[in-house]
Amino acid sequence: MKKYFGFGLLLLLLSMMVTSCQNNAEEKTENQLNNIVLSGKMPTITMNNLGDTLSYISGNEYSQTFLTYLKEFHHIDTAYIADVTNGILQAAQAKTNEQKAKCVGVALQIEYDRLIKANNLRIFGEKNKGNVISKSKFLEYFRDLATGGKTKMNRMQAEFYLNKMSHRVVIDSIAVSPQQCDSLALSLAVIHSENFAKTLKEVYGLDDKGMDIVIQTLQPATKIDNKNEIATKVGIHTGVLMVYQAVPSYKEDKLFKEYYCFNEGNFYAAFCDAINGKQPLFDEMQSRIIFQYASNNVFEKENAVKFADNKAAGIAFLEENKKKEGVQVTPSGLQYMVLKEGKGDKPLATDNVKVHYHGTLIDGTVFDSSVKRGKTATFRLDNVIKGWTEGVQLMSKGAKYRFFIPQELAYGAQDRGTIQPFSTLIFEVELLDIVK
């Protein structure tokens, strides 16, 4: 497969793919991660439909800020990306309660390490050399509270204490005692242990045994100097976020939930390819085009249901109108009446024309009129709706026609205020001049 598709081929593929994966939730597998081989190999990228393509692009976009995060927060350079990738796949491939629990435990270690660092920075600043919040103390309090331990401090009090101490240290420049640092650690533990068991069960799908494994994992760890091991743990943390937060979020997005199949394998493969420096299958502009195409397709389908009566009324109107004396119909479905013939040349689609016009809906509502404004309009004929482009080319200079334009030759599914989606339009047009 070539790295990049040409735009013409891209649009052709989209038009073919869009019909193959819509409104077919019954075809979605319960867990497409089964496509990821347990040997640690990357998922196979498949491009059978638009859902596959959108999933791939989503994974690539999700990776965009990740390398900066690795370098700036964890100080991991590209030499250790393979270890990060391995960690991500470990989390993505975890199937048993024990495997999942171990990955969640590692992820929470990383998360709580970041939590402590962030709060120490917020409360004490970068240059502080005195007492700080201890991660070991935080984990001690956290494990106790998460397993049913009690404290007199509630969440509101914990949040108040954190904010108060932050203000006193930053604004008043007070020194913080070890006891106050312990209270800060307790405050964080109170906040983050709340509903911990419920979260493990509902978000991560872990049972009581799984919770025990997570708690055991949350022990004060000895400092790790092995960058390969650090990178792997960071990868597991990232994988857990992707598996339990990012991917479910994408699946719940209306685009995937109701219209296109989300392919987890493509999402993970695109993400890992991107962080490993591989060229994506679609560049940034092509990705935008594909997502816009998919969004427009969804928009049109929803409007087709919402404004079905409007569409039906237009069809019925045109069916009766074509029977009237003097009404002519072109192969495209455009209807017109000659009110006054003109003389001379007819304009080309590439010509600029000077016209007067009066536009109404089939119920007589006026939505635009140069006649009412008392000012003619000049425009290039191929820059307007298809009904105009086709119809005005039938006219000679000085002619006046009435056009009955089907919605597909007008604005289609677009909502343009007074002109609702799928509106049939009526225009009286007088061709005043052809501007060469």
| Tens digits of pLDDT across the chain (436 residues) | 333 334 343 444 444 444 444 444 333 333 333 333 233 445 567 777 888 999 999 999 988 878 777 777 777 877 888 888 889 888 988 889 999 999 999 999 888 988 998 888 888 877 666 678 888 999 999 999 998 899 989 999 999 998 888 877 655 566 778 898 999 999 999 999 998 989 999 988 999 999 999 998 887 655 666 788 888 888 899 889 888 988 999 999 988 988 889 998 889 889 888 888 888 888 889 889 988 888 888 888 888 889 999 999 999 999 999 999 999 999 999 999 999 999 988 999 999 999 999 999 999 999 999 999 999 999 999 999 999 999 999 999 999 999 999 999 999 988 898 999 999 999 999 999 998 7
Write out pLDDT tens, residues 362-400: 999 999 999 999 999 999 999 999 999 999 999 999 999
* Structure-token match 């900066």, residue found: 68
3-state secondary structure the chain: CCCCCCHHHHHHHHHHHCCCCCCCHHHCCCCHHHHCCCCCCCCCCCCCCHHHHHHHHHHHHHCCCHHHHHHHHCCCCHHHHHHHHHHHHHHHHCCCHHHHHHHHHHHHHHHHHHHHHHHHHHHHCCCCCCCCCCHHHHHHHHHHHHCCCCCCCCHHHHHHHHHHHHHHHHCCCCCCCHHHHHHHHHHHHHHHHCCHHHHHHHCCCCCHHHHHHHHHHCCCCCCCCCHHHHHHHHHHHHHHHHHHHHHHHHHHCHHHHHHCCCCHHHHHHHHHHHHCCCCCCCCHHHHHHHHHHHHHHHHHHHHHHHCHHHHHHHHHHHHHHCCCCCCEECCCCCEEEEEECCCCCCCCCCCEEEEEEEEEECCCCEEEEHHHHCCCEEEEHHHCCHHHHHHHCCCCCCCEEEEEECHHHCCCCCCECCECCCCCEEEEEEEEEEEC
pLDDT for the residue numbered 127: 62
Q: Which residue, among 211, 204, 209, 291, has the nearest Cα to 253 in the 3D structure?
A: 291
Q: What is the pTM of this model?
A: 0.64
Q: Residue 192: what pLDDT?
A: 92
Q: What is the pLDDT of residue 88?
A: 87
Query: Hey, which residues are catalytic here?
Result: 357, 367-368, 385, 411, 427
Confidence (pLDDT) at 41: 46
SS3 per residue for 322-383: CCCCCCEECCCCCEEEEEECCCCCCCCCCCEEEEEEEEEECCCCEEEEHHHHCCCEEEEHHH
253-257: Cβ within 8 A, 24+ apart: 254/298, 255/54, 255/294, 255/295, 255/298, 256/51, 256/54, 256/55
